[in-house]
Structure formats: structure tokens, C-alpha cells
Amino acid sequence: MKDKKTSSTAADKETVLVNRKSKMKLLGKQKMLIAMSVPFVLYIILFRYIPLWGWTMAFQRYKPNLKFSQQQWVGFKWFIELFGSRNAETNEFVWNAEFLRSLRNTVGMSLISTALGYITAILLAVFMNEVRVLGVKRFVQTVSYLPHFLSWVIVTGLVANVLSVEDGILNDILLGLHFVKEPVQWLAVPKYFWHIVGWTYVWKEVGWNTIVYLGAMTAIDPCLYEAAQIDGCGRLRKIWHITLPGIKPTIIIMMIMSAGHILDANFEMPYLLQNGLIIDYSTIIDIYVLKYGFKLFNFSLATAAGIFKNVVNIGLLVLANTIAKKSGEERLI
């Protein structure tokens, strides 16, 4: 028995040594790839993980003039105050209407932009995949991709000019077609603002977002289209029964990734287009953080709001991935 145990132990050790040698040999072959990845790993550590130390401010009554050891720790006080606080006289809990509005605006803008972005990107990708004239296809691709390379500051300026009351081209067109009797103040009516942000996002990013779907369509076996052609399927039936099912895994993955950005509504556009008339519909969480962090110098509350946003995003990402996993669909993890 001892001889058998000794021989099995020796065989296990030998297997471990062989595995280690094979791994070291593989690492040696890929040393150039590893060396190339080092700067990116350092970048992530320096600019993504080390700054997380600043999250400690959310659990302190932070004062810039005091050292870290001198700060007063207050636990989850600021996270509670994000949602409200107790009235000193009546002892009733009063909701923080300002933060709740910013949360509502963030979710609303993000959902509109995400929904419109998905639908238009998939439709445009299907359209470009069906176009047989190469020149037309390249023209549409180029025109739809170009806005992606414009900064949001430039895009915001264009939107402001297009929607201007005095000489905005949109009002000129509507007046010329007699759809309206007087110019519409697009940037002064709260109910229009979320849709303005959503459709501007579509115009800027729809071409870029189609790249992923077009890449997925190239992986579909052409024999499937040939078989459908023999069976008498038209273009619409091919799209419905071959193209869309073929890119379904990609759509699921992109949806899961988008779930992790629900509270990441675009900051520049709401910030640059907001005014006193629509501020209740244009203030998002990032603007709330900016206000309390750099204008009111309440760094602790601003940090708590930022942590809340990131934790919710991570939670939604994990939830979406879990739902996809249990449904038997593609998933990230």
C-alpha cells in the first residue's frame, strides 16, 4: 500500500512539474504579447483602481484642510442623505427631491437613448447588409460614421443652432410646411428635452454602433441564404429567419453591456443645453455630483452619489448577465 501511495504521489508531482514547464514554455513564446500588455495593465491600475482610495470620502465628514487620520468617520450618513433626511422638528423622513429628480432624469434619458440606439443601429446594419450596390453601401457607411468623430461640445452647438427659435432650420422647415403656426421653443419645453438628447445620440452614434452588427452578419453562413432562396423566401423572410437569429447572440451581449451603463447618461449634452426652464428635466446624477462636489464643496455627498451610480450599474450588469444565463442565452461571464 505504501509503495502504491508513494508511486501515485510521485506521479502527481511529475504531472505538476510537466504542467509548470508547459506553462512556462507557453509564457516564453508569448513574452512579446505579455510585454505589450504591461502598459495597459499599469494604466488600469493607476487610473482605475488607485483612485478608488478617494471613495473613503463618502464615509467621512471630509474636510480638505485635514489629514486622512484627522477626518471624522460618519458611516453611511451621506448615502442616506442622498435619498432624504429626518426633519428635526417633526422627526419625519423628508425625501431628497433634487437627487430623486436627477436619478429619474438619468434613467429616462439613458433608456430613451439606449432603446433608440439599439433599434436604429440594427435596422441600419440590416439595410447596409442588404444593399448590393457597393458604392451606395460605402456612401451610407461613411455618412453615418462621420458624426461619431465630432466632440459632444460641437454636436451640442449644432443642436442649439438647429433648434433655435429665431433662425433654426427645424422651425423654418415646420413653418414652411405649415405644420406649426409659430416657432417652437424646443429647448424651453421640458417634455421635449429627453427626446432631443435621445435622437441626437442616435444621429451621432448610429453609424458607429452598426459596426458590431455588420461584423456579426459576416459570420452567418451564406449557404443559409442560398437554401432560403431555393425555398422561395423573399428578402424580408431571409432577414427575419436568418439575419436576425444570426446576430441574436451579439444583440444579447450588447444589451447586457448596456445594462451596466443605465446611470451613465451622456454628461456633456444635458450640461451644455440646460437652462432655468428645463433644469428639472436636464439635471442628471453627474451634474448633481458636479454641483455638490465643485460648487458647494460637499465632497462627501458628491462621492456618495458617484459610488451609488457605479454600484447600481454593476448590479444591473450582473442581473442582466444572470437573466441571460438562466434563459440559455449568450452571456458575458
| Of 202, 209, 235, 200, nearest in space to 141 by CA | 209
CA–CA dist 182, 165 (Å, integer): 9
CB atoms within 10 A of CB 269: 24
| Of 204, 207, 200, nearest in space to 128 by CA | 207
Dihedral angle of Cα 305, 294, 81, 258, to the nearest 10 degrees: -20
Q: Cβ(92)–Cβ(180) under 8 Å?
A: no
- Non-local (6+) Cβ contacts of 316 within 8 A are 259, 260, 262
Q: Cβ(307)–Cβ(227) under 8 Å?
A: no
The stretches in the chain having pLDDT less than 50 are 1-2, 4-5
| Of 273, 277, 129, 252, nearest in space to 191 by CA | 277
The helix, strand and coil proportions of the chain, stated in percent and rounded to the nearest 5, come to 75, 0, 25
Q: How far apart are the first and last CA of the chain?
A: 44
pLDDT of residue 8: 56
CA–CA dist 194, 278 (Å, integer): 10
Which cell numbers hold the place of 221?
453562413
CB burial of 49-65 (b: ≥16 within 10 Å; e: otherwise) equals eeeeeeeebbbbebeee
pLDDT of residue 2: 46
| Of 119, 83, 114, nearest in space to 261 by CA | 114
For 289, the enclosing helix (H) or strand (E) is helix 285-290
Global confidence as pTM: 0.85
| Of 315, 298, 300, 301, nearest in space to 263 by CA | 315
- Non-local (6+) Cβ contacts of 210 within 8 A are 121, 124, 125, 128, 144
CA–CA dist 106, 264 (Å, integer): 7
DSSP secondary structure letters along 149-186: GS-HHHHHHHHHHHT-TTT-HHHHHHHHTTS-SS---G
Q: How does pLDDT run across 82-134, given as a tens digit for each residue?
A: 998 888 778 888 899 999 999 999 999 999 999 999 999 999 999 998 888 88
pLDDT of residue 331: 79
